[in-house]
């Protein structure tokens, strides 16, 4: 039995249905006339043999529209991802959606908000928190970009090993810089299935490394997640529809490559776009423009029928765990949920891609629960309409508190947040005026006070250590 996640019961369309074709035709026009750059000689030769027009000198590939349409038709509309624990398997596609987490370069000191590199112990404790959260359905590529004084180049394999040891949820893995040479060995040694993730290089480019990683994912038989990253006004048009066309063209080019390599290969299409902050030159995380882009992208790819993900709900411009972070994440998450996402990053990130902390993840889990409850919609039945009950209770002095209907339904109807203050004002004053942050810090302490659980055997740990030693040696010798 796979994880339930949430089943979307209501949806939002931001683009009139008769205008979706304009987005699609725009992407086909870009693919057919402008083309996409592939910085890989093997790919240029392969796509030329599939009927594409290839300019080898420029590395540019132009795609005939019928090849794009045929490749889209080959890609699965839904598929499963196995987790180490079958109860955590994922079913991607349709109206089911899941939550995962973002990441940060560093952790923060909770008292000063100063960033610093996490320790190995803090990395493990972060995974333990992510494992414990009820609405965190699967692990992302990493919570932090490394720990202690390890070389950054081995951060991905080191992190994947810790994920396997301290969680039985499914995990995404970053495929770059040859990390997959070792993370795939780990997965195969333990019998795990992972979701390999690659990123485009906007505008309209796939690097040699991304293509090599994609081929390795396909050959290994793992599902492939493709992630774009256009900054609106920088590496994509300033308008959301135009930037969506750039991102869609990039994805469709990779869909063609992957489906020609292996028809029917599982693919998750990831959108991670934000406006460019024209004052600082950095991504304007948390801006409503990112959600507009997500909404348009999601509607188009729901039209195509492929499972899709959004990355931007998990990244904000706030600098601490406070009001701005809450509204930036909450608004982005509910709009992604309502417009058709299959999975989204939400938990953990504190400020842009710079900092992350498990206390933030604990508060984010309440956002996930609230968003999921709303997007699930409302059951319409004789029992929920409750007409006979209403007639039986009548006007004052009638009431519903003691009725069996209330006992049956109130917990289903209400979402009870774990870190939100719900005391009366008098109780709040008497109780020390605690905030959501106080409750989240207490929950962190409670989770970490539980006995530490390892999900790997000594023999599996030995395999992981052996592969990590090979990775360290490989990266140490590589120029």
Q: Give me the pLDDT at residue 479, please.
A: 82
pLDDT (tens digit per residue) in 171-212: 999 999 999 999 999 999 999 999 999 999 999 999 999 999
Over 80: is that where the pLDDT of 1 sits? no
CA distance 365 to 381: 30
pLDDT, average across residues 105-127: 95
Reported as type and span, the H/E element at residue 178 is none
Instruction: Spell out where 66-114 has E strands.
Output: 79-81, 90-92, 96-101, 107-108
**What distance in Å separates the CA atoms of residue 297 and residue 241, rounded to the nearest whole number?**
8
Rounded to the nearest integer, the mean pLDDT of the chain is: 97
Please name the residue that has the structure tokens 């493990």.
124
Per-residue pLDDT tens over the stretch 148-176: 999 999 999 999 999 999 999 999 999 99
Return d(Cα 454, Cα 203) in angstroms, integer: 43
Convert the pLDDT of each residue in 431-459 to its tens digit. 999 999 999 999 999 999 999 999 999 99
Here the tokens at position 470 are 């090979």
Per DSSP, 278 falls in state T
DSSP type of residue 10? -
What's the rounded Cα separation, in Å, for the pair 164 and 190? 9
Measure Cα distances from 350 to 229, 237, 291 in Å.
Answer: 20, 27, 18
Please say whether the beta carbons of 83 and 170 come within 8 A.
Answer: yes
């Amino acid at each position: 039995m796979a994880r339930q996640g949430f089943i979307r019961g209501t949806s939002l369309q931001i683009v009139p249905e008769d205008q979706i074709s304009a987005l699609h035709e725009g992407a086909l026009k870009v693919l057919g006339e402008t083309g996409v750059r592939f910085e890989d000689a093997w790919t240029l030769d392969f796509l030329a043999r599939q009927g594409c027009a290839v300019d080898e000198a420029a590395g540019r590939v132009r795609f005939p529209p019928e090849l794009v349409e045929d490749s889209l038709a080959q890609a699965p509309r839904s598929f499963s991802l196995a987790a180490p624990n079958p109860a955590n398997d994922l079913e991607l596609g349709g109206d089911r959606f899941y939550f995962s987490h973002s990441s940060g370069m560093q952790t923060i000191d909770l008292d000063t908000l100063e960033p610093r590199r996490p320790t190995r112990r803090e990395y493990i404790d972060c995974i333990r928190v992510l494992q414990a959260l009820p609405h965190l359905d699967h692990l992302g590529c990493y919570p932090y970009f490394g720990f202690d004084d390890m070389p950054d180049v081995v951060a991905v394999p080191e992190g994947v090993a810790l994920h396997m040891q301290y969680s039985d949820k499914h995990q995404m893995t970053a495929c770059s810089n040859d990390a997959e040479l070792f993370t795939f060995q780990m997965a195969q040694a333990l019998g795990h299935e992972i979701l390999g993730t690659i990123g485009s290089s906007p505008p309209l480019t796939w690097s040699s490394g991304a293509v090599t990683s994609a081929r390795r994912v396909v050959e290994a038989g793992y599902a492939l997640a493709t992630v774009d990253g256009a900054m609106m006004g920088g590496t994509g048009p300033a308008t959301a529809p135009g930037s969506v066309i750039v991102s869609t063209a990039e994805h469709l080019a990779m869909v063609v490559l992957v489906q020609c390599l292996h028809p029917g290969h599982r693919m998750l299409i990831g959108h991670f776009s934000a406006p460019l902050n024209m004052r600082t030159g950095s991504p304007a995380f948390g801006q409503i423009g990112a959600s507009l882009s997500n909404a348009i992208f999601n509607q188009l790819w729901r039209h195509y029928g492929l499972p899709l993900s959004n990355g931007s709900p998990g990244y904000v411009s706030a600098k601490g765990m406070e009001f701005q972070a809450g509204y930036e994440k909450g608004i982005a998450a509910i709009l992604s949920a309502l417009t058709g996402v299959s999975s989204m990053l939400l938990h953990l990130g504190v400020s842009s891609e710079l900092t992350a902390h498990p206390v933030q993840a604990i508060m984010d889990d309440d956002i996930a629960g609230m968003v999921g409850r709303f997007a699930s919609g409302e059951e319409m039945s004789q029992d929920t309409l409750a007409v006979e009950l209403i007639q039986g209770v009548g006007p004052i002095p009638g009431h519903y508190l003691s009725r069996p209907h209330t006992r049956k339904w109130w917990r289903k109807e209400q979402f009870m947040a774990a870190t939100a203050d719900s005391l009366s004002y008098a109780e709040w004053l008497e109780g020390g005026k605690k905030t959501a942050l106080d409750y989240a810090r207490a929950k962190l302490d409670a989770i970490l006070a539980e006995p530490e659980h390892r999900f790997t055997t000594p023999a599996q740990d030995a395999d992981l250590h052996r592969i990590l030693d090979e990775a360290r040696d490989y990266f140490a010798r590589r120029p």
